[in-house]
Structure 1
Amino acid sequence: MSAQRELFREAAIDAISDMAQYLPSDCELFVVACRPGSKVFDLVLPSPEANLNNALDALRRQGLSIDGDNAYKRDLCDSIFGALALGAQNNNPPPAGHWGQRFWDIGREERAMQEDLLESLTNLVGLAKLGAARLDKYHAALAHAEAVIAKATR
């Protein structure tokens, strides 16, 4: 830790207790210092009772948006894309109760729908090649295809 950062850290820790005495008892206090584009000086000092999720909520109320570009959002989106892809592959499900489970399930459901559509279309192509001699099977395959299409377009 650089000497300048360490001096700031010590001053901030001393100041937290001085500032906290002027806050209502149900408030949480954070001191945050950052150098944009560099993590070298990043410093987040919460008071003992503080919760970082509450600080994030406060920043959102002040205008922090998901529309801006930041590493947290990129990592979160990468995690969601990964869960969707792994679900589509039916591979590496998240642990029980994990927030990514719903995205893994969406990937799995989308892949199952693709497989059902592919099977239905393959059957239709095969039956079309057989011609009118198998008209009853052709109608059954069409009914299945219509059901799959209806399900996919709900």
Structure 2
Amino acid sequence: MPQEKNAFREAAIEAISDMAQHLPLDCELLVVACRPGKKDFDLVLPSPESNLNNALDALRRNGLSIDGDNAYKRDVCDLIFGALAMGAQNTNPPPVDHWGQRFWDIAREERAMQEELLESLSNLVGLAKLGAARLDKYHAALAHAEAVIAKATR
């Protein structure tokens, strides 16, 4: 740990107990130091009774927004996108009881509906071709439907 960061860490640890004495008993205290855009000075010092989720809630009540750009939000979105992609492919399900499971399930349900629709349309096109053999005006519409089915099943 660089000397500057270590000196701050030691001072902050000493100060946490002094500051905590002036808080109501049900309050939690965290000291956070960071250099925006760099990891070299990131320091999070929670008091023993603190909960990082409560700290995040407090930051959100004071203006932290889901609309801002940050690594945590990008990671959460990456997990959701991955769960949706894997669910649509019916591969790599999340671990049991993982919060990403619901996104994986949503994608599975959507893909199942799409497969059912494509099967139904394929059957309909097959039946229509039998009747359209006598009716040339339907050939273009059937060719278009077949192209859409082929594109959707790639």
CA distance in 1, matches of 2:115, 2:27: 53
What is the letter of the counterpart of residue 43 of structure 1?
L
Alignment-derived partner of residue 77 in structure 1: 77
Gaps of 5+ in 1: 134-154
Alignment-derived partner of residue 22 in structure 1: 22
Q: How many residues align?
A: 133
Alignment-derived partner of residue 138 in structure 1: none
Alignment-derived partner of residue 93 in structure 2: 93
Deviation (angstroms), 1:95: 1.6
Alignment of 1:2 with 2:25, yes or no, is no
CA distance in 2, matches of 1:52, 1:41: 19
For residues 1-154 of structure 1, the aligned pairs below 5 Å read 1-131=1-131
Residues 64-122 of structure 1, C-alpha deviations (whole Å, 9 max, x = no match): 11000000000000000000111111111112211011000001011101111111111
Deviation (angstroms), 1:132: 7.5
What is the letter of the counterpart of residue 30 of structure 1?
L
Deviation (angstroms), 1:20: 0.3
What is the letter of the counterpart of residue 13 of structure 1?
I
Residues 15-71 of structure 1, C-alpha deviations (whole Å, 9 max, x = no match): 000000000000000000000000110000000010000000000000111000000
CA distance in 1, matches of 2:89, 2:132: 38
CA distance in 1, matches of 2:95, 2:20: 40
Gaps of 5+ in 2: 134-154
TM-score by length of 2: 0.84
CA RMSD across the alignment = 1.2
User: 4+ residue runs of structure 1 moved beyond 4 angstroms?
Assistant: none
TM-score by length of 1: 0.84
What is the letter of the counterpart of residue 45 of structure 1?
L
CA distance in 2, matches of 1:74, 1:27: 30
